Amino acid sequence: MKSIKTLGQFIIEKQADHPYAKGELSRLLRDIGIAAKIVNREVNKAGLANILGDAGSVNIQGEGQKMLDIYANEQFISALTSGGECCIVVSEENEDCVYIDNEVSQDAKYIVAIDPLDGSSNIDVNVSVGTIFSIYRRKSTEGRATLEDVLQRGTDQIAAGYIIYGSSTMLVYTTGKGVNGFTLDPSIGEFCLSHPHMQMPKEGNIYSINEGYYAHFPDGVKKYIKYCQVEDAKTHRPYTSRYTGSMVADLHRSLVKGGIYMYPMTAHAPLGKLRLVYECNPMAFLVEQAGGKASNGYERILELEVKEPHQRSAIFIGSENMVNKAEEMIACFSPQGTKR
């Protein structure tokens, strides 16, 4: 009889990996898991709960907010506020950072950056959506945490992960000691270890990019897309294109099967679309921990300087060999390198 290991049991078991963590990180991950179960309940009955559709508001991105965007944001911020371990929340749905200053959070040490419901345009059409989270320890030790505590490089992350609300609901995370996946068992309401030691294949044959913007991509990206599409007898069969409109879903598939997800700079997103702090950095940390690679086409995502909480970045992330090939082709056309 295969024994069940819940997320809570796993976190406590791995607590020893972090000598300084006297249980705070464990409690923080527990708080995120609780909020994820609440969000999952609403996502799974969105069509019934009159929670579909637009909220009639826009977020800092200028993107129309879905009612479930706002609900998910409220659930995660509420769980982090009452959990007592988090001092600042940076959310895609909030222009300003949320400073937590209540009686249970007086010595809170952690900053959480979150995209509460990534890919929310998919909710109304029942396609997978996700939550992305990133955890830092505050750098300052005196007084209230400040924005400076938020503006840390991706290499400083303590933990990162995502929840995918798909054919099953999974929580996948890393604390810098590998990647483990947990599947929600609704019959017991627990995330149970289902994918221990996840490793991203070094090679894959699935590429994810919104080819509707092809005309606006840099030449090196166009060259890589053509490389994916044609049979090069010496190297590969034509790849398969899969793009769901949800980075979490596309990257989870790449983690399991191999593949690359790309959101380059384009004419209408000259700095890229994805957000560095709560989309690119957490996914890059997790993917690197699984043996994959993440760059902006030129530099490692995790080493990019963070200048402001909602900063954008281009991203090429997934199987190491695929990202290397994309970077090689981008370099052929980069201003530094002349077209060969």
Residue 246 makes contact with ligand P6P by CB under 6 A: yes
276 assigned ligand-binding residue: no
Using CB under 6 A, pick the residue from 8, 178, 245, 291 that binds ligand P6P: 245
Q: Three-class SS string for 4-64?
A: CCEHHHHHHHHHHHCCCCCCHHHHHHHHHHHHHHHHHHHHHCCCCCCCCCEEEEECCCCCE
Query: 116 near 165, Cβ under 8 Å?
Result: no
Write down the least CB distance from residue 273 to ligand P6P, Å: 6
117 assigned ligand-binding residue: yes
Four-residue CA torsion sign, 147, 71, 172, 24: positive
273 assigned ligand-binding residue: yes
For residues 6 and 210, which CB has a smaller minimum distance to ligand P6P in the complex? Answer: 210
Write down the least CB distance from residue 272 to ligand P6P, Å: 10
Instruction: Give burial (CB, 10 Å; 0-12/13-18/19+) of 142.
Output: exposed
Q: Which stretch binds ligand P6P (CB under 6 A): 67-75, 76-84, 239-247, 330-338?
A: 239-247
Instruction: Give burial (CB, 10 Å; 0-12/13-18/19+) of 1.
Output: exposed
Query: 80 near 108, Cβ under 8 Å?
Result: no
291 assigned ligand-binding residue: no
Q: How far is CA 53 from the centre of its chain?
A: 23
119 assigned ligand-binding residue: yes
For residues 245 and 291, which CB has a smaller minimum distance to ligand P6P in the complex? Answer: 245
- Mention every residue, 6+ apart, whose C-beta is less than 8 A from residue 230: 238
Residue 252 makes contact with ligand P6P by CB under 6 A: no
Residue 8 makes contact with ligand P6P by CB under 6 A: no
Please, which of residues 255-314 interact with ligand P6P by CB under 6 A? Answer: 273-274
Residue in this structure with the two tokens 């699984």, named with its chain if needed: 290
184 assigned ligand-binding residue: no
Using CB under 6 A, pick the residue from 118, 149, 320, 327 that binds ligand P6P: 118
Binding site for ligand P6P (CB under 6 A): 118-119, 210, 245-247, 273-274
Q: Summarize the annotated binding site for Mg(2+) as residue ranges.
A: 92, 115, 117-118, 279
Q: Summarize the annotated binding site for substrate as residue ranges.
A: 118-121, 210, 243, 273
